[in-house]
Amino acid sequence: MGEIALFPETKLVIGVLSSSFTVMEELEGKLKRLYGPIDSRIGPWPFAFTEYYTKEMGPEIFRFFFSFETLIDPSGLSVIKRKTNEIEKEYTAGGNRRINIDPGIMTVDNFILATTKRRGHRIPLEDGIYGEVTLIYMNRDFQPLPWTYADFRSRDYRDHLREVRKKYLAQLKRQSG
């Protein structure tokens, strides 16, 4: 029988879609206050993978990624997703979101996104939040899965997440002495 052990700490990575750079400055400050110092920030990258958000946010949407210095217990991902949903509501105007926030966690082996959408490949976490293994790390790269969103399949996103993983591995090494 296996022994129950605490989960290894993970790296919080938050992806944001937005058409407003002004909102992004304010949001970045809010994310820092909630989750600590940002150790990696990238964007704006043009987001042209789907038109799903166009009606709400307009035709020019950009992707930003933030990763945080403070490592987290992965079991807290559902709490973070509920909080980011609250933040999205704060930035709603005329019934339309101005931002879409996608929190995820980086582990040694994969990248997991939190979502409210139930699908067959997603695992219930807590209070209506699901976890999705979006990318698996093997053969020295992040590998997409059949359900991986088109943007996370892209070389740019996977290259960036690989760099975030390097930071994460260095943090784990420093922690272990």
Backbone phi, psi, residue 14, to 5°: -120, 125
5 located within any domain? no
1 located within any domain? no
Amino acid 176: pLDDT: 84
Region 128-134: mean pLDDT is 97
4 located within any domain? no
pLDDT category at 60 given cuts 50, 70, 90 is very high
How many domains in the chain? 1
Residue-wise pLDDT tens digits, 3-34: 998 999 999 999 999 998 889 999 999 999 99
Answer yes or no: is pLDDT of 118 > 80: yes
94 located within any domain? yes
- Helix/strand/coil (H/E/C) assignment for every residue in the chain: CCCCCCCCCEEEEEEEEECCHHHHHHHHHHHHHHHCCEEEEEEEEECCCCCCCHHHHCCCCEEEEEEEEEEECHHHHHHHHHHHHHHHHHCEECCEECEEEEEEEECCCEEEEEECCCCCCCEEEECCEEEEEEEEEECCEEEECCCCCHHHHCHHHHHHHHHHHHHHHHHHHHHHC
29 located within any domain? yes
3 located within any domain? no
2 located within any domain? no
- Indicate the angle between helix axes 21-35 and 77-90, nearest 10 degrees: 150
Answer yes or no: is pLDDT of 102 > 80: yes
pLDDT category at 105 given cuts 50, 70, 90 is very high
List the domain range (segments joined by +) for residue 57: 10-176
CA dist list (Å): 74 to 18, 21, 53, 119, 145? 26, 30, 28, 20, 21
113 located within any domain? yes
Answer yes or no: is pLDDT of 114 > 90: yes
pLDDT category at 131 given cuts 50, 70, 90 is very high
CA dist list (Å): 75 to 12, 65, 80, 116, 132? 12, 21, 10, 16, 13
Answer yes or no: is pLDDT of 72 > 80: yes
Round the average pLDDT of the chain to a whole number and report it. 95
Percentage of the chain beyond pLDDT 90 is 87
Q: What's the pTM value of the predicted model, to 2 decimals?
A: 0.95
